[in-house]
Amino acid sequence: MFLVSNDMTATLPARASLRVVADPGERVAVRCTAGELWLIRDGDPKDTSLAASESFTLPEASRVELYAVTPATLHVTRCRSGSDAASGWRSRLRRLLGLAHPLHTGS
């Protein structure tokens, strides 16, 4: 079993598995580019299969186990909501500039 931490492309041999986790405020898209994958979602009694060129998007704060029925290639893309992304670059800029608080303009 492998754990996904960033956007990636992976090739799984048949009968290998991959766990994909979407954190709070994050959406994760899985696209099967070759082969066939079986998706096992926590709490969902109905499993799903993905063939080449099909995709699935995990809702935030969820996880899925991908099982390669045949040798398969997939691409995982992570997206944060706009407000999370905006606050992320602002906090990185404040740290870079050595500022503890947001920029203030005043008299």
Task: Give the tens place of pLDDT for each residue, 42-100.
Answer: 778 888 899 999 999 988 888 899 999 999 999 998 887 654 444 555 666 666 676 55
Find the mean pLDDT for residues 4-23: 86
pTM recorded for the entire structure: 0.67
**For the chain, which residues make up each domain, given as ranges?**
2-97
Cβ neighbors of 96 (< 8 A, separation 6 or more) are none
Q: Tell me: domain 2-97, CATH 2.60.120.10, correct?
A: yes
